[in-house]
Every structure is written in C-alpha cells, then in structure tokens.
Structure 1
Amino acid sequence: MAASPAARRRKVRRRADMSLLGGIRPPIAALSALLLTLAGITALGLGKADQDLVPKAVLTSQQHFAEDGAVALRASIDESVTDLNRTAGLFSASEPVSPDAVLDKIGSVYQKWTGTAVLEIKSGKLLAARGENVPVTAVDTSKLREKDGLSPRMVRLQNGETRLLSFALLSWEGRPQQLLIASNSLRFPGIALGQFRAIAVVDTEGRVLSSDGIPEPEQVLTDLQRDGVKRSNKQLKSFAKTAAHKAAQHPLKSKEPGSGGFLGVSGSLYGTEFQGDRAVAGYATLVGPEPGESTVATSLGLTVVAMVEVAEDPTRSAGPLFGLLAAGALLVIGALAVALLLGTVQRPLIRLFLESRRLTRGDVTRPVNVPSHGEAARIGHALERVRRQLLGESAQSTATEGPRRAGRFGSRGLIAVCAVLLLAWSAPMLLLLNRADSTVVVPEQMVNDQRERTETLTDRVRRALNEGHADLVSVAALIGDRTSPDDMRKVLERTRTEHLRYESLYVMSADGKVITSAGETPRQEAGKLPAEKLLGLVNGSGKEPVIAGQAEIPGRDGARLVGEFRIDFINSLLKRPGLGQVRVVDDERQIIAGNTGYRAFEKLTDERLDSFVAGSNQKVGLSARAGGVLYRDSGDGVQLAAAAPFVGGGAAKSLGWTVVSWQPASGLAIPEYSLQNRTVLAGLLGITAAAACLGWLHIVVVRPLRELARQSEALADGDRRTVLYPRHHDEVGAVIRSLELLRQQLQEQRKRDGAPAAATAGRN
C-alpha cells in the first residue's frame, strides 16, 4: 500500500530533523560554545582581583591550630578523668589506706592536677588535701547518687579563674564512703604558641574561661604595650563570642560537602586591622576521637579559639589584565579555528549536498561547482564526471579530462591545523604561564605554624608515652606483693581496656619469666629492656617497632610490670590535617612511626630533611627548640618543613626521638599557587574542548567523507554494481543517497543503450 503524501512529508521532515543531531554543524557549534564559555571563565577566574590581603592558607592554618588545641584539651581531660577513676578503683580493690596515703601516692605518680582532696560523703568533712585549695564547698554530696552525679563540672573561683573538678569514689567494706576530688585548670598541655599568638577556652555563652599568650596589662612596661594588650584582649573576646555562636551549629552543616577532616565544628575568623596587622583566628569544638562518640570532655560544651596577628601584604591584590589578555587571545584563536572549519569543511560539504541533489532532480545542464581542495574537491570532480556520463559520455573519456584527484591536503590536515591553533593557546597555559615555584611568596606565618604545630605534636606524643609509663608505675605500686596472679591478671585486663595504648601488659619476674599477662603474646625483645631504662625501643629492625615501658613492682624481688605500646596508637596521634607527611624518628634518625605509609627503621629519603633533623637533635641541651625551614628547589618545588625533638620531663625524654613534618607549598591556598592552578585548569579545559569537538568532527564527518570520496570516484570510474547506502542521516549521508540515485540512473541509461553486461563487469 503506497504511503500518503502527508506520510511522505513527515518522513522527509523526520530525516531533516535527524540531520540536525549529527553531521558537521553540531561539533563546530559545540566548539564555538565551549570556547566562548572558556573565554568567560578565563576572564573571570584569572582576571578576578584577589582582595584578601591575608592568604586563605593562613586562615586555614589557624583553623588547624585550633583543632590541635581542641584535640589536646579533650585528650587531657578524658585522660585525667580515666586516671582518677582507675586509681580510685585500684585503691578500693586493695586494703584500706588513709586519705593522706591516697593523695601522697597520687601526687608521686601524677603531676597533672593543681589540687586534690578526699571528702567524707556522709558528713561532708574534708579528710585530706594536697596542692591548691580545692573548692569543696561547690560540691553537693547529697546529689552524688543522682544520675551524672560524679560527672566533672566547672567551678568559677572568686578571682575569676575556672577550675574543672573531677570525682571518683573510694569504697572499703566497713568504712564510710569517701569522695576523691581532683582540681585542674583549663590550660592546654604542651601547646607551642610562638610569638604574637593567643589561645583560649570558651564556654557556650562565649565567655573566656582561660587563655594563654596574652599577658595581663599590669605586667607590661609601656603605655603603648598596655594599649596593645587591651586591644588583643578585646579582639579575643570578640572572637570568643563569634566562635561560641558558630559552634552551636551541626558539624555536618559547618563544613563544605565532602571536606571531611576534623569531626567537630571548626572554622576561621577574620578580625580587625591595626597598623598593617590583621587579627585572624581559628576555632574548634571539643569532639570525640570517633564519629558519634561522646566523652566526658565533649559534654562540657567547650570551644577552643586560637588568635594571631598577621602582617598584611598590600601587593597581594592581582589585577584583571592577565585574565583579559588570555581570554582575548582565546577568542582570536578560536575565531580563526572556527572560521577555518566553516570555510574549508562545512561550506564545501553543504555545497556538495546541494549539487548532488540538483543532479538527482535531473538538472545536468550546468557543470558542478567543484570545491578547491581536499575530499570535497575529489567528490566534486566525481560528480562532474557522473553528470557528463548522464549526458552520454563514457567513463573513459571523462577520466582523461580534468584532474582526477585534486587537493591532497584533506580534511584531516585542516583539523590538525585547528588542533595546533587551539594547542598554541592551551599548552602555554598548562605548562609555561604562572609557574609559581619561582615567584611565590610563602607567608612567614605558614613557616611558623608548621614549626609550632609540629612542636605541639611532639609534645603530645611525648606526653602520651609519659602517661603510659605513669599508668604502669601506678598499677605496679597498687599490685605490690599482696596480689595473686589471677588478681593481677584482672587488674591488667581492666587497665588495658581503659587505655587502648597498650598492645600487651604482663608481669615479668627478675629472671625474665612471664608470671601473668593480658592482651597479645609478650615479645621476647621486651624482656631484654635494661632495668634502669623506663621506656625504650627494644628492637632495631623488623617490620614493626616494639616500644615498651616498665615499672618495678615493690615487694616482689625485682619483678617488673611491662607494657608494650601499640604502634598504631602512636601513628594515630600524628594524623593531623594541614601538616603534610609526619614521621617520628629515633636518635639514629630511623623512622619509627608516621601518619602515612612508611617502612619501619628506614632513613628519611630526603637528605635535606635528614640533615635538618640531625641539626635539631644537636640543639638539645643548649636551646631545646623546634625548627622550621622553607626549601626552594627546582626539582621538588617549594617545601615547608619542621622538626621538633623530645624535650621536657618524663620517661620519654631519654628516648631522644624527633618528630619531623614536611609538605609542598603548592598544596596551600596561596594566591600564586591558586592562580597557577586556575591557569592549568584553563589549559586543561582548552585541550579537552579541542580534543572532544575535533575528535567528534573527525569521527562523524572526516572519516565518512574520505570513504565517500573513494566511493564517488569508483562510481565515476564505471562501478555500477556497488550499492551505496548512507550510515547516518547527515550531510554526508545525503550526498551518498544522491550518488545512489545517480548510480541507478546510470544503470538504467546503460540498459537503454544496450551496453553488454560483460563489459560493465569487466570494468568493475
């Protein structure tokens, strides 16, 4: 059944619509649109003036500094509460002792509390006290049986200072129940502030509970200095109010999606300017070590604020000239490339489409308008020969007249020229322009922060090891000579459960035999630790370092309590954002621990860092301070590094270890590197747009066009048997359909003329 005229019109219209989805127009249009968009992005992204006189990297560094303070304060509070409860439990599990003996033992093992006291719960009578006066009047013993009655609480003293009170019960059968109270200030343990920095603890209402780094106005010498101190205190209080308000939001809503990092609420604040110095700050809330985990410290609702004054650099602001020039150059080059594609590929192909349609309609009197070069010229000459054959000439006679193959420089060469034009803009943007390593000005504050944060991290590792050894001393003293092996094992199991720093705990006799143990199987190397060494690395090779501490058990003829530390515990302390790679090295500069992948007991791969660590170790005993350095090297780029040896008291000082950190400056939000990154991005986008659109054009147009040139020349040479069919409904497909119609006309013409089929076959 024949189709109706309306159906035929719909079919023709559908074919015309389909040609718009492919063919030569969409790739060129897409290339034009992408180049215009990229020019706009380049003008706005590279030409946008940077008005921030303090680099974003400095603000981010203050945020990380506040996070370090929050982590250290949270760990210190939780550790103090755990130690107090565990010590009280061990006392309660042994024979009754006097309150004075309890406080004396606690004071000899731990030096972390400003004051301790023992209170009789029933009568409220103070039985014993040590150190600073504990505000026992603030404790309501009648509420101790209520829920959270023993939870730590903050008490404000008459002098305005705040104390954190921790509680634990001392219970012996046949004796009145007693309350062990420990008082501590909300000071940061081991935070390295450097110069011109202040750090404070803030409550939920924005009140400063404690602060370090800003002296009292009465302690300074001149009026100018007193005015500066007052201004700093005022700015710190302003930051405290803002930080407390921001800390009330949900942690997931306080950060950009996917940023990760610190589990709590944290951020940075921009303050006022005075005589070229800008006050900036970071804030962070106290948060548990694991997502969703709540601890004693996190329930207090505290926020840490770290403030520093940074010198502004008025030369930081960048003008729009470079971005405008780059965008203008892209518009000129893109216009040339698009004009070349329009003039040498699209227009000749559309002309061939019109000429082929004219021939199929029977208009063969006028010669074919042949393009000047490339595959279009070959197809045009073939159409002209076919036109003359329709007029009665033979294939041989048309072949001897006119150029058979015109224009060797085809469409592939034209696309290659366009690619070279676009690459001439993209390659310099990607590889040559705005190379920041040679011109970058790294703020001095970044070097200071790298040094101070590394020093803080060193102190945190040292304190963790000291705390571990203090726990061993406490447990060993309470075990004494009256505990059976089964009871000792229970004590060791409870200690290991409360403190995850230990891999194994065991009691070893004087002759090296393990009496009882808890946790993993004891290492043989740990038993070889000299008796006079409290902490030590007991192996010098292998896959994993073995760090052990020991404490003599009184009354057991030289028996020792040995604890092996988990190396993963040390590694977890080093995982702080914004410090780059961190390593703990021993006195021989062999790697012991790290925050990323490493091989134990290997040397540092960078000789500069190795020499830097060696120099830092030589300072110990003279001026025990951490060091920071900025390396500029053509091979590795600009790099920040810092090293801090173990200093201070405790058993860990004898280890002679050093914490070293380093990171490339290119990973910091410094204007020069930000401009370099945007320039590289523009070059990548340019290459991607050129590759996508020109590749699309090559696949959809150039390859079918070359095949069409071959088929049209075969038809003009006399091939009448090969059926020509289009693969796509586009301009090339339309020309192929026209050639198929012309082939059929030539075949019918030959039949009318009575040409022998054998002759036709022979020519094929």
Structure 2
Amino acid sequence: MRPPIASLVVLLLVVAALTVIGLDGIHAERVPQAVLNGEQQIAADTAQSVRTSIDAEASAVRRTAGAYPATSTSTPATALKALTSARKAVLGSALLEPHTGKLLAAGGKPAPLAGVDVAKAASGHGAIPPRLVTSGGTRQLLYFAEVTLPAQQEDANQDQNQVPSRTARQWLLVVAEALPTLTTYGDGRTAEVLDAKGTALATTTRGTAAPAAADSTLPATAARAASGSDRDTDASGSLLGADSGNRRTVAGWAQVASATGPGDTDKLGLVVLTSRAVPATTAAADYSGFALQAAGALAGLALLLALALHFLVQRPLLRLYLSAGRLARGATEDGPTAWEELSRPVPVHGFGELARIGRALESLRRQLLGESGPQEFPARRGPGYRALAVAGVLVVACWAVPMIFLLNRADTATAVPAPVLANQQARTEIATNRIRQSLDQSYTDLNEAAASLPGRDRAAQTEVLRHALADHKQYRSLYLLDRSGDITMRVGDTPLRTLVHVPEGGGITTVNTSGRIPAIAAYAQVRAAKGKAPAAGVVLFGEIDVKALNSILARPKLGSVWVTDSDNKVLAASVGYRAFQSLPESGMTRLARATQGAAGTAGSATSAVDRASSGPSVDAAAPLAQSGPTARLGWHVVTAEPAAALQLPAVQAEQRTMLAGILGLTLGAACLGWLHVVVIRPLRAVAVLVERLAGGDRRTVLHPVNHDEIGSVTRGLELMRQALAERDRAARSGHAAGASRSLRENTLQR
C-alpha cells in the first residue's frame, strides 16, 4: 500500500523539478540558434556541392584517359589534343613522362607544375588526387590521370635473334582548371572558398550583401576552426560576426572533404564560408516565472493526493488490518483472552470497500460471540475506491491537460523568424540544384554512350552499353529502341517502362505513370554516322535507379524532401513513400503550385510555415530547373522540416511544456493504476468474500493472494470462517443429540 502512494508523490515532485529545469533554461538570444544552425547547414550543403563538382571532374578526366583508344603509334601531341578538345573548362594541359616528369606535350596555357613532384605523385597506388596550385596569382586545380599506350620496343642490348619484348608505356595527363563555380542562394548571402590559411580563392554574392556581412575576421576564424577539426570528415560550424544597428552577421563554415572515407578533396584543405546579415531579435523570452508556478501547482497537487490517500485509504486499511487480526486471534483462542479480543466492536472507517469490510467484520464478531446469526447485506452500494483512483487521475489531468494543449502554445505566424524561412528556402534551392546536376550528368553520360554506338557491330555496341552501365552506377538499365518503340538491345535490369514512345531529341522523362517504382530515364538520339554501320536502335534510354536519386535528397536538418512531377505526384523522396502519390499535406501542394509562376516562366522558390496535422513545419518548394534537359518537365522539389526540430525559444517552450504535462499525466496515472491493482482491486474482492461469510457462507475457502495488509486480512477471515464452521457443526451435532434423547424418552413413556 505504501509504495504506490510514495511513488506517486516522489514522481510528481520530480516532474515539477524537471519543469523548472527545462523551462528555466530557455532564453531568447539576439540571433536564435536555429538561424545559426541553418547557416551552418547551408555552408555544409555548399561545400558538398563543391566537393561533388571536384570529384565529378576528377572522375571525368580519369574516365576520358582510360577510354582513350591509344595505339603504339600514338604521339603525345595527338593524344593530348584528343583528350582535352572536348573539355571546355580546361585552362591548360600537359602530357608528362611519369617517372622523370619530362614534358612530352602541352596545350592551352602552361600548366602550373612548379612545386609538384610528378614522379612521387605518379608512384602512389590508385588514383592521383587533385592538387591546388598557384598560377599568375590565381589558384587552380590540377587533375591527374594515367594514359596507357601499348608499345613494342626492341631493347638495344638484346640479341637480334631474340623476340622483341612487348611492354606498355604510360603517360601522365595533367589538366589545369579553375575552381568550380560557386553558386550562392538566398538574397544578401555571400559565399567564399578559402584555403587552409583563410585566403579567399573565390567569392560570390547573391543580391546586395549588407555592410554587416563584410566582416574581415570571419575567414581567418573559419579557417582556424576547420584546421582544428578532423580533416577526414565534413566538419562544419557556425560563427557570429559584427553588429550593424539592428542586424547581426551570421556565418557558417564547412570543410570540402569526404565524409565517407578518403576522397579527392581531402588534401586540398578547402573551406566554404557563407555569411549573411540577419535582423537581431529584441523580444525577450523568460519562462522561469511560468515554470515556478507550474511546478508549485504540481507539487501542491502531489501533496493533496498524498494526504487524501493517506487519510482515506492508508490509515483506514491499517485499522482494518489490526481489527481483522484481533478477531482472528479471538476466534482461535479460548478463555478470557478470546473474550477480550472479541468484546471490542470493529470501528467502521472510510467509505466504499473498507466500510463494507468493516461492517461485515462487526457482524462476524457478533456471530463469534453468539449474539446474532448471519446477516444479509444490500446489493446496492455507493461509490468505492475505484472512483477515488479515477478522481486522482482527473486531479492530475487538471494540471497536465492545459500543459499539453493550452499553455505556452507557439504562434506559427511569429514563432519562426524570417531568416529561418529564408534558410529553408535556400537549402531547398541547393537540394534542387544538386538533383538537377545529377540528372543533367546522367543525360550527358548517356549522350557519350549514344555517340559511341554508330559504326560498331552488335557485339561491340553491347559491350559499350555494359561498360557505360558499369561506369555509371546511377543507371539500372540501358536499352535501345527502334522506330516502333520495341527494345532491340538491353543490358542491366528489366525495364520498368510502360509508356511505349520514341521521343525526338534528348532529355529526361518518365517512362511509366503507375506502379510501385517510378521510372525516370534519360534518353538520347543515336545518330547514324555517314559511311558507317547503323546502330541497333534510334533512341538510347537509360533508366535511373530511383534509389540513387533518393540517396542524394537527404541532408541533415533539412527534413523530408520530395521530387514531384508537374501534377504534384511524388517521383522520389528521402523518406518512405508510394510512387505517384500526392504530397502528405495540402499546404505542401499549394506551395509547389506557387512556384510555377506565370505561364511560360520557370517560376521561383518560395517558403511558408504550415500548420500540418502532425504539427507546424517550415516548408519550401523550388522548381527543378530553369534550363537544360529537365527544364520543360515542370518538376518541383519540396522540403518540410518540423518546427519541433528547430531550436527556437517559443517552440522549445511549447515542447517542454507538453513534455512536462505528458510526463505528469503518465506517471500519475501509472501510480494510481498501480494502487488500483495492488490495493483497490483486492479490496473489492475481499469485500465480496467477507459479506458472503457474514451472510452465512461457510463453504468458500478464503485463500490469501498477496503478502501484504490485504493478504493478512484474508488470512484472518479464513480463521474466522473455520471457527464459525466448527461452531456450526458443533451446534448441529448438539441439536441432533438432543433430538435423539427426546425421542427415546417419549418412547419409554409410551
């Protein structure tokens, strides 16, 4: 009996203390932490874009070098021209002898090789990572790739009768390019690429940057922070810059390094720094007074419940326990002691089950003394202790329900600052650009494969498609269509397409409109080369694995991301989904439609706070592309980040207030439920048994279930039942003997 009551009081007092600790720690800063976190993630997203661009360029240089059809008669000049003629971003290039570093051929501007140990770079195992070098006061990236040429050489020292040895020669291709173009999102934001010393290598600004954003100390601070972190991870952070009136500079930094192991950008030491001046918050938020009031109210309720349970349950039950023990001793003993135990009446305390048990015990006491016989008790009874437990839960609910549903509600119109909305929109635009680049690259890769098909026999064309499938992991299937739309050649998985069409030109499209998996595909025309054998089909399709697309959608603290078609049906998502279903909230659909703009325009990104069914969220949407192969699709990217995940004072206060209410209601109900299980329910069972016993039922054996006060009462009742049953048997035996004597006496008299 005591543990549930003590636990109820202690746990409610703990919830009161947690309420004070949780709400007292919320303070409004001039710049909310959510704004700092958003800028940090924008820097991380921008760094990932830079890393992806460098990795893609390094892979493209290696792939081009590996696919070069070198022969033993190839010259360095012709090879260099063939390797770099199609690359528009090349500033300068060179072919070197990898063992000596001797220049074999050069193109464009002289490649800045000073300070690069070519022999050491080429001696490493695996791919050679890019290098950051200086040329003419500007920083450039050097990309390396090995070109293997078969050759048959005659060693001058060999005997002329010996067969010439066939060996392979290797050249080292060096391509110099500028740093990847840095794209900035969000009006007034500045983005910079820094080296390890904090020197800006590239800077872009979108719109007009506020004067506060021009904080000269931020680059050096960001470089120091990056140098103090692990270079093998994509470390990032946020900084606060200078004040300018009611605006404050917020900056984020992130390393351009691989997060999944050694990568091409790990040794470059590049850092991305983004900064933007945001309005400073002047409204104060102090929840300490509310926390003390709520905690005091809960502590008062806990003490009130403790007193009520003590006087209405605990003390009456202890008195009943003592009375039952006294009657049990009187029923089993003889002499003056038994008379003394049974002579005192049983006091009736409390109400409900305890009062019923007390009245029944008093009846049993009188039956043991022989003062009365069995007594019937009324079937209709008043409220019992179960009603008391329910009333206790309602008392706790009077405190908890307002905490959960009413108090400290965050106003969605004012709780989310404008910079947080702007950051969500900017991150959505970055995600959109990342998806667009992935789809554009898939289209470019498919074009390269399509250009390699004419002039080859069927076996060679199949081999080209197999190599393309192996080199480009985003494809799940490659196939050629003829003029009628039939598949004439295929490699990879079974196509998902259900739409049979032979489109003109090239681009990105969907090739099904239903099913569990959407089939997004790149397609390109296969041109017939003059004087060469035609390809086995006229259009090459490459179905893009939706898993590969889904994997690039998710980003930390961006929330859920969806790619939708022109009808706002889901094509890809960062969370579980069914293909071609609608967006989960109608507000997201309205937001996606709002990005479409006027007829004939590409539209623009937008954002809003949506009071969704699962709670308020910060949503944003952006058109997928304004140019390129995906521009005419009308697709969108929609993101939704729950406001509960943002570190905003109003939202934090709402969350912690709700948590305190939920904890208080759960723990209070649990403890009162415990009291019901171990005290109230057994009391109800004992009340029924003792009334039956007092009503004359001497056959039902009373078995104690629990080893507590109620179990002791049950054991005492069983002793009383046995005593009463024995007395009834003795009385019946005496009555039978008296009747037999009377019968004999009457017979003798006759």
State TM-score, norm by structure 1: 0.81
- Given that residues 631 and 640 in structure 1 are in contact (C-alpha distance below 8 angstroms), is that contact kept between their aligned partners in structure 2? yes
Alpha-carbon distance in structure 2 between the residues aligned to 1:642 and 1:320: 34
Mapped pair 1:237 → 2:210: no
Mapped pair 1:564 → 2:555: no
Aligned to 1:577: 556
Aligned to 2:333: none
Deviations 1:603-640 (CA, angstroms, capped at 9, x unpaired): 55655544543443336976x67322214558675443
Mapped pair 1:519 → 2:492: yes
Alpha-carbon distance in structure 1 between the residues aligned to 2:484 and 2:83: 30
Aligned to 1:15: none
Shift of 1:755: 6.2
- Given that residues 605 and 623 in structure 2 are in contact (C-alpha distance below 8 angstroms), is that contact kept between their aligned partners in structure 1? no
Residues 192-341 of structure 1: matches in 2 within 5 Å?
192-203=185-196, 207-208=198-199, 210-213=201-204, 225=211, 228=212, 232-248=215-231, 264-275=233-244, 276-286=246-256, 293-298=261-266, 300=268, 302-341=270-309
Aligned to 2:434: 460
Deviations 1:10-47 (CA, angstroms, capped at 9, x unpaired): xxxxxxxxxxxxxx111111111111111111122123
Change in CA separation of 1:208 and 1:59 when aligned onto 2, cut-off 3 Å: same
Alpha-carbon distance in structure 2 between the residues aligned to 1:123 and 1:42: 70
Deviations 1:698-724 (CA, angstroms, capped at 9, x unpaired): 111112212222222233333344433
After superposing the two structures, state which structure 1 stretch, 624-633 or 89-98, moved more.
Answer: 89-98
Change in CA separation of 1:297 and 1:718 when aligned onto 2, cut-off 3 Å: same
Match of 1:470 among 427, 444, 447: 444
- Given that residues 53 and 180 in structure 2 are in contact (C-alpha distance below 8 angstroms), is that contact kept between their aligned partners in structure 1? no
Residues 365-376 of structure 1: matches in 2 within 5 Å?
365-376=343-354
Shift of 1:94: 6.8
- Given that residues 87 and 474 in structure 1 are in contact (C-alpha distance below 8 angstroms), is that contact kept between their aligned partners in structure 2? no
Aligned to 1:180: 173
Alpha-carbon distance in structure 2 between the residues aligned to 1:455 and 1:740: 79
Alpha-carbon distance in structure 2 between the residues aligned to 1:449 and 1:69: 13
Alpha-carbon distance in structure 1 between the residues aligned to 2:487 and 2:359: 99
After superposing the two structures, state which structure 1 stretch, 299-308 or 350-359, moved more.
Answer: 299-308
**Higher helix content, 1 or 2:** 1
CA RMSD in angstroms comes to 3.8
- Given that residues 337 and 422 in structure 1 are in contact (C-alpha distance below 8 angstroms), is that contact kept between their aligned partners in structure 2? no
Change in CA separation of 1:353 and 1:162 when aligned onto 2, cut-off 3 Å: same
Alpha-carbon distance in structure 1 between the residues aligned to 2:402 and 2:36: 32
Give the secondary structure class of the aligned counterpart of 2:343: coil
After superposing the two structures, state which structure 1 stretch, 744-753 or 161-170, moved more.
Answer: 744-753
Q: Which runs of 5+ in 2 are unaligned?
A: 153-168, 331-337, 738-750
Alpha-carbon distance in structure 1 between the residues aligned to 2:117 and 2:414: 61
Give the secondary structure class of the aligned counterpart of 1:618: coil
- Given that residues 77 and 106 in structure 2 are in contact (C-alpha distance below 8 angstroms), is that contact kept between their aligned partners in structure 1? yes
- Given that residues 472 and 551 in structure 1 are in contact (C-alpha distance below 8 angstroms), is that contact kept between their aligned partners in structure 2? no
Match of 1:594 among 536, 552, 573: 573
Deviations 1:705-747 (CA, angstroms, capped at 9, x unpaired): 1222222223333334443332112111122222333334445
Give the secondary structure class of the aligned counterpart of 2:144: strand
Identity within the alignment, % = 33
Aligned to 2:35: 58
Shift of 1:113: 4.2
Match of 1:630 among 608, 616, 633: 608
Q: Which runs of 5+ in 1 are unaligned?
A: 1-23, 251-263, 760-764
Residues 676-691 of structure 1: matches in 2 within 5 Å?
676-691=654-669
Aligned to 2:383: 409
Change in CA separation of 1:60 and 1:468 when aligned onto 2, cut-off 3 Å: same
Change in CA separation of 1:113 and 1:600 when aligned onto 2, cut-off 3 Å: farther
- Given that residues 64 and 578 in structure 1 are in contact (C-alpha distance below 8 angstroms), is that contact kept between their aligned partners in structure 2? yes
Q: Which has the larger radius of gyration?
A: 2
Give the secondary structure class of the aligned counterpart of 1:167: strand
Aligned to 1:21: none
- Given that residues 550 and 562 in structure 1 are in contact (C-alpha distance below 8 angstroms), is that contact kept between their aligned partners in structure 2? yes
Alpha-carbon distance in structure 1 between the residues aligned to 2:433 and 2:519: 20
Deviations 1:260-318 (CA, angstroms, capped at 9, x unpaired): xxxx45453343452444444444445658x5x53333465655444444333132532
Mapped pair 1:28 → 2:5: yes
Alpha-carbon distance in structure 1 between the residues aligned to 2:363 and 2:298: 43
Aligned to 2:335: none
Shift of 1:456: 1.5
Give the secondary structure class of the aligned counterpart of 2:408: coil
State TM-score, norm by structure 2: 0.82
Change in CA separation of 1:758 and 1:739 when aligned onto 2, cut-off 3 Å: farther
Residues 723-734 of structure 1: matches in 2 within 5 Å?
723-734=701-712
Alpha-carbon distance in structure 1 between the residues aligned to 2:469 and 2:130: 27
Match of 1:152 among 121, 129, 151: 129
Please tell me the residue identity of whatever aligns with 1:192. Answer: Y
After superposing the two structures, state which structure 1 stretch, 65-74 or 537-546, moved more.
Answer: 537-546
Aligned to 1:710: 688
Alpha-carbon distance in structure 2 between the residues aligned to 1:758 and 1:31: 59
Alpha-carbon distance in structure 2 between the residues aligned to 1:96 and 1:448: 59
Give the secondary structure class of the aligned counterpart of 2:432: helix
Change in CA separation of 1:75 and 1:54 when aligned onto 2, cut-off 3 Å: same
- Given that residues 114 and 185 in structure 1 are in contact (C-alpha distance below 8 angstroms), is that contact kept between their aligned partners in structure 2? yes
After superposing the two structures, state which structure 1 stretch, 695-704 or 91-100, moved more.
Answer: 91-100
Change in CA separation of 1:606 and 1:164 when aligned onto 2, cut-off 3 Å: same
Work out the number of aligned pairs and report it. Answer: 703
